[in-house]
Amino acid sequence: MKQVLNFFYQPLMKWSLLFGALTGVLCFLYFLALYALGITPLGNKKVLDFGIHIIMMVGAVWYYRKKVGNGLLHLWEGLTICYVVNTIGAIVTGWLIYFFILYIDPSVFTRYIADMQNLITSTKGTLVKQLGQAEYETLLKGVRAIKPADLITDELSKKTVLAILPVLIICLIFRKQDYSIYKQ
C-alpha cells in the first residue's frame, strides 16, 4: 500500500492532482454562480467552464516547468499534467454537481430535463424530417431516462473530448528540452 501512495507523491502526479482538484472546485463555484444568478446552471452556459480547465492546465504546466522541471518540460510530461488536471477536474465537478442536485436543490435537474424536452419538442418538425419519427421518439425517451448520476459521466466525457486540441497546443507551447546532450 505504501508503494501505491508513494506514486501519488511524485511531483508529476502530486501537482497534477492538486491543480485538478482546484479546477473541479472552481468549476463548481462557476456552477453555483450561475445558480445564484438564476441561469440554468446545467444548460449551454455551463460549457464556458471549460475555460477554467484551460487556465488551470496552463497554470499547472507552467508551474511544473518552472518549479519542478527547472525550466524544462518534456512533451509527455505536459500531456500527462494536462490530462490529469482535466480528468480530475471533470470528476470533481461532476460529483459536486451530483451532490448539489441530490441534497440541496433537485429542481435544477428537473428544470434542465424540462428545458431539453422543450428544445426537442420545439424543433420536432426539423428533427422528424432529418432523423425520422422513430429516432425522434427514441431521442425524447433518452432525455426522459437521464438520471442525476449520468451528469458525472457526461461531464467527464465532454471535457475529455473538448480537451484534445487545447492540451496539444498547451504542451507544444510550454515544451522545452535540454538539447545540449546532442551537441557533444
41/56 same-domain check:
yes
Is residue 53 within 8 Å of residue 27, measured between CB atoms?
yes
Evaluate whether residue 2 is within a structural domain: no
Q: Does residue 178 carry a pLDDT above 80? A: no
132/69 same-domain check:
no
57/137 same-domain check:
no
94/173 same-domain check:
yes
Number of domains in the chain: 2
Separation in Å, CA 9 to CA 5, 12, 52, 88, 103: 7, 8, 25, 16, 33
112/173 same-domain check:
no
pLDDT of residue 108: 93
88/112 same-domain check:
no
The x, y and z cell numbers of residue 148, run together, are 442525476
- 8-17, 27-36, 48-57, 161-170, range with the lowest pLDDT: 8-17
Give the closest residue to 16 by CA, choosing from 99, 71, 91: 91
74/111 same-domain check:
no
Evaluate whether residue 3 is within a structural domain: no
19/36 same-domain check:
yes
pLDDT digits (tens, 9 = 90+) for 72-110: 888 899 999 999 999 999 999 999 999 999 999 999 999
- Among positive and negative, which fits the CA dihedral 41, 43, 168, 85? positive
142/52 same-domain check:
no
135/89 same-domain check:
no
Q: Please give the Cα distance from 152 to 95 (Å, whole number).
A: 6
Name the pTM for this structure: 0.86
Task: Using a pLDDT cut of 70, give the percent of the chain over it.
Answer: 94
Residue numbers of the domain that contains 115: 107-147
70/97 same-domain check:
yes
Evaluate whether residue 98 is within a structural domain: yes
Q: What is the mean pLDDT of the chain?
A: 89
